[in-house]
Amino acid sequence: MTVILDGKKVSAEILAEIKAEVEKLDKKPGLTVVIAGENPASMTYVASKEKRGKELGYNSDVIRLPEDISQSELEKTIDELNQNPDINGILVQMPLPKHLDSDAIIEKICPEKDVDGFHPVNVGKLVTKTNPYAVACTPKGVIELLKRYDIDFAGQNVVIVGRSNIVGKPLAQLFMNLDATVTVAHSKTKNLPEVTRRADILVSAAGREKMITADMVKDGAIVVDVGINRNKEGKLVGDVDYENVKSKTSFITPVPGGVGPMTIAMLMQNTLEMYKKFGC
Amino acid at 82: N
Strands 201-204 and 236-237: unpaired
Q: For the residues of 195-213, what is the DSSP string, one character each?
A: HHTT-SEEEE-S--TT-B-
Nearest to 96 by CA among 168, 171, 46: 46
Question: Which has the closest alpha carbon to 220: 244, 240, 235, 200?
Answer: 200
Question: What DSSP string runs through 5-47?
Answer: --HHHHHHHHHHHHHHHHTT-SS--EEEEEEES--HHHHHHHH
Of 93, 156, 173, 269, catalytic: 93
Selected catalytic residue, list 6, 108, 113, 116: 116
Dist CA 201 CA 217 (whole Å): 10
Is residue 83 part of the annotated active site? The answer reads: no
Tell me the one-letter amino acid at 128: T
Question: Which of these is catalytic: 6, 28, 49, 239?
Answer: 49
- Residue 188 known to be catalytic: no
Residue 71 annotated among the catalytic residues of the structure: no
Q: What backbone phi and psi angles, to 5 degrees, belong to 61?
A: -145, 170
Tally of CA atoms within 13 A in the half-sphere of 48 that contains its CB = 13
Element (H, E) at 181: strand 181-185
Active-site residue list: 49, 93, 116
